[in-house]
């Protein structure tokens, strides 16, 4: 199993610190490979695509990794967007057992965000309940375990449908495919990540309380200060548009 951290040139400034945080909170993590379109950071285990849009970029990156033999198609991956780094420790044993469950249950997708409440329960894995996932964001890019084959099929379907952005990608639902999710958060990160539509997601800051997370919190807080005038303008404009 590999851990793929997806980023983009506009957010690469966070990559090195994000990797440090992941290492602190998941010391047993598998090999971490960064997928991006530029590569302006220190971490060297990366694959770079010339594509700027997320879907073609990720398809190119995953195809490069498979062609190079770095990721066998039968191997699951943990896919994480850079702004979804964890804010608490990751249970390595649980992740590995959930990956084994996915291998024997359709080789598709297993979301780690804990969206199972009220859904059909499928199994218990290492004390974690697994449910059928049936959300409008069926292929959510919140941290998840993907079968490499299924991820490639979903990316291909997106491109065939004219989808290049991550937001519409999340709504793809391949026919006759079951996606899974957990009943509790196995990957603790703030809903929406620490960035929301390019701006600081303020609720994420309160979870950055230890180790290198404090350095990231400081970096994001400085960004938030610069955003204040635009945020005020947006609120004033919204107020004028209200009846």
Q: What is the CATH number of the domain that holds 32?
A: 3.90.550
Total domains in the fold of the chain: 2
In this structure, the answer to whether residues 112 and 82 fall within a common structural domain is yes
The confidence band for 211, taking pLDDT boundaries of 50, 70 and 90, is: very high
Rounded to an integer, the average pLDDT of 141-169 is 97
User: Quick one: which of 91, 127, 124, 130 has its CA closest to 108?
Assistant: 130
Given this model, what pLDDT does residue 242 score? 44
In this structure, the answer to whether residues 177 and 201 fall within a common structural domain is no
Given this model, what pLDDT does residue 243 score? 45
Given this model, what pLDDT does residue 67 score? 97
User: Quick one: which of 72, 116, 124 has its CA closest to 98?
Assistant: 124
> Would the pTM count as exceeding 0.85?
yes
Given this model, what pLDDT does residue 240 score? 57
129 phi and psi angles, rounded to 5 deg: -80, 140
In this structure, the answer to whether residues 95 and 119 fall within a common structural domain is yes
Tokens of 186: 């196995």
In this structure, the answer to whether residues 220 and 172 fall within a common structural domain is no
Q: How far, in Å, CA of 161 to CA of 63, rounded?
A: 19
In this structure, the answer to whether residues 158 and 225 fall within a common structural domain is no
DSSP annotation of 88 reads S
**Domain that includes residue 243, residue range:** 196-243
Q: How far, in Å, CA of 208 to CA of 226, rounded?
A: 20
In this structure, the answer to whether residues 69 and 10 fall within a common structural domain is yes
Q: How far, in Å, CA of 96 to CA of 113, rounded?
A: 16
User: Quick one: which of 173, 171, 169 has its CA closest to 159?
Assistant: 169
In this structure, the answer to whether residues 179 and 201 fall within a common structural domain is no
In this structure, the answer to whether residues 88 and 163 fall within a common structural domain is yes
From 167, 189, 211, the end of a domain falls on 189
Q: What sign results for the dihedral spanned by CA atoms 99, 105, 109, 111? A: negative
């Amino acid at each position: 199993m590999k851990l793929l951290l997806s980023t983009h040139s506009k957010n690469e400034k966070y990559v090195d610190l994000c990797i440090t945080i992941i290492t602190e909170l998941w010391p047993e993590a598998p090999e971490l490979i960064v997928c991006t379109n530029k590569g302006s950071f220190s971490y060297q285990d990366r694959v770079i695509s010339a594509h700027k849009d997320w879907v073609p970029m990720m398809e190119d990156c995953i195809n490069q990794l498979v062609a190079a033999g770095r990721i066998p198609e039968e191997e699951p991956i943990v896919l994480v967007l850079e702004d979804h780094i964890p804010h608490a420790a990751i249970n390595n044993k649980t992740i590995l057992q959930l990956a084994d469950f996915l291998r024997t249950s359709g080789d598709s997708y297993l979301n780690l965000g804990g969206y199972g409440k009220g859904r059909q329960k499928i199994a218990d894995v290492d004390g974690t309940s697994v449910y059928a996932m049936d959300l409008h964001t069926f292929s959510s890019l919140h941290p998840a375990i993907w079968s490499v084959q299924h991820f490639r099929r979903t990316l291909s379907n997106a491109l065939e449908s004219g989808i290049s952005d991550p937001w519409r990608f999340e709504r793809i639902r391949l026919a006759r495919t079951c996606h899974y999710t957990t009943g509790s958060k196995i990957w603790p990160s703030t809903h929406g990540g620490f960035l929301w539509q390019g701006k600081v997601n303020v609720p994420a800051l309160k979870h950055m309380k230890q180790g290198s997370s404090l350095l990231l919190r400081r970096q994001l807080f400085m960004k938030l200060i610069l955003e204040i005038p635009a945020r005020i303008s947006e609120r004033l404009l919204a107020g004028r548009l209200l009846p």
